[in-house]
Amino acid sequence: MDKELESAGAPNARTRAVYPVGTLFRLTLVELLRTKRALLYLAMLLVPVAFSTYHAFTEKMIQDPLYVWGIVFVVAYLDFIVPFTALLFGATLISAEQETQTLTYLLSRPVPRWLIALVKYAAAAVVSIVGIGLSMLASYGMLASHPSLVPIGGNFVYVVLLTGVGGIALLVYLAIFLFVGMRFRRPAVAGLVFILAWENLVGLIPGIIRFVTVVHYLRSLAIEATKGTIVLPRLFTIKAAPVSGSLIVLGVVWAAFLALSVWYFSRGEFQTSSDRR
């Protein structure tokens, strides 16, 4: 055995310079998709698809499918599925590893903490964006598959643009909830308050206060993406911000929260007094 240990594959100079990003990324993906959270995520993704399927087969579909899908996009995806998915994955990226006591293994490896935080964030972003993107396309596909309706091609550009808005929303919310998950003892409660009270209620209050919500800029982007030609009922109640302004604000919020999360994780202590022996 001693000989085995002596001949062990100690990292050489070349491998030392390359961090095992792919391994950490895959490990995070596997863990995200293995838990019960993934089932809840899947259920959320299927709801709008099921609704669209039901609508396509039972309604006479006198409206443009994008009109109906616009409602689905705002009510189901932008206001509900996107932030809740971000909460589900973002807030638990670190805290779940604390609960399962696997974080110790990561933190005692020669990988910088900032890299661990970023790679885990990237894995959660990929899982969320791919799943929600596919769900969005599937739900629109079901609505547009009705034989009596306009061909899909005409509106598809808008669908793709709105899917992109959904992706931006996920990136921003994930960064926010990554920080919330590390900073708050009960991240689920803090996250729900943020989504339901701040984003949805404050966002509806007339005046300037809505400008401090993330959802205002996402809705603005959605309006601009469809050039206002598509009726997105709840969006018409606000004055949309310009695309560049929305992108800048969302970019700043994303960068600030991601940097804050990485900073907090790099300096944080994730062993508590209740864990000690």
Residue nearer to other proteins on the CB measure, 4 or 60: 4
Residue nearer to other proteins on the CB measure, 166 or 181: 181
Among 71, 111, 122, 260, binds other proteins (CB under 8 A): 111
Smallest separation (angstroms) from other proteins to the CB of 190: 20
Report d(CA 1, CA 58) in Å as an integer. Answer: 70
Residues in contact with other proteins, shown as a per-residue x/- string from 28 to 67 under the rule CB under 8 A: --xx--x---------------------------------
Residue nearer to other proteins on the CB measure, 239 or 276: 276
Among 2, 36, 185, 206, binds other proteins (CB under 8 A): 2
Q: Which stretch binds other proteins (CB under 8 A): 98-106, 165-173, 201-209, 219-227?
A: 98-106
Nearest to 87 by CA among 24, 204, 169, 203: 169
Give the helix ranges, DSSP H, for the chain.
2-6, 13-17, 21-34, 36-58, 65-71, 82-90, 92-99, 103-107, 113-144, 153-183, 187-192, 214-225, 243-267
Please report where in the chains the tokens 């206001």 appear, as a residue: 79
CB contact at 8 A, 41 and 132? no
Among 58, 110, 208, 227, binds other proteins (CB under 8 A): 110
Structure tokens at 275: 């864990």
Residue 5 contacts other proteins per CB under 8 A = yes
Please report where in the chains the tokens 């970019």 appear, as a residue: 251
Residue nearer to other proteins on the CB measure, 104 or 237: 104
Residue nearer to other proteins on the CB measure, 110 or 151: 110
With CB under 8 A, what is the number of residues at the site for other proteins?
A: 42
Mutual angle of helices 214-225 and 243-267, in 10-degree steps: 140
Interior angle at CA 197, CA 193 and CA 200, nearest 5: 125
Residue nearer to other proteins on the CB measure, 23 or 237: 23
Please report where in the chains the tokens 């994303």 appear, as a residue: 254
Report d(CA 200, CA 273) in Å as an integer. Answer: 37
Smallest separation (angstroms) from other proteins to the CB of 256: 22
Report d(CA 252, CA 172) in Å as an integer. Answer: 9
Residue nearer to other proteins on the CB measure, 11 or 154: 11
Q: Which stretch binds other proteins (CB under 8 A): 82-90, 182-190, 237-245, 266-274?
A: 266-274
Nearest to 93 by CA among 69, 140, 125, 67: 125
Q: Which stretch binds other proteins (CB under 8 A): 20-28, 47-55, 63-71, 126-134?
A: 20-28
* Footprint on this chain of other proteins (rule: CB under 8 A): 1-2, 4-6, 8-12, 15-16, 20, 23-24, 27, 30-31, 34, 100-102, 104-113, 266-267, 269-273, 275-277
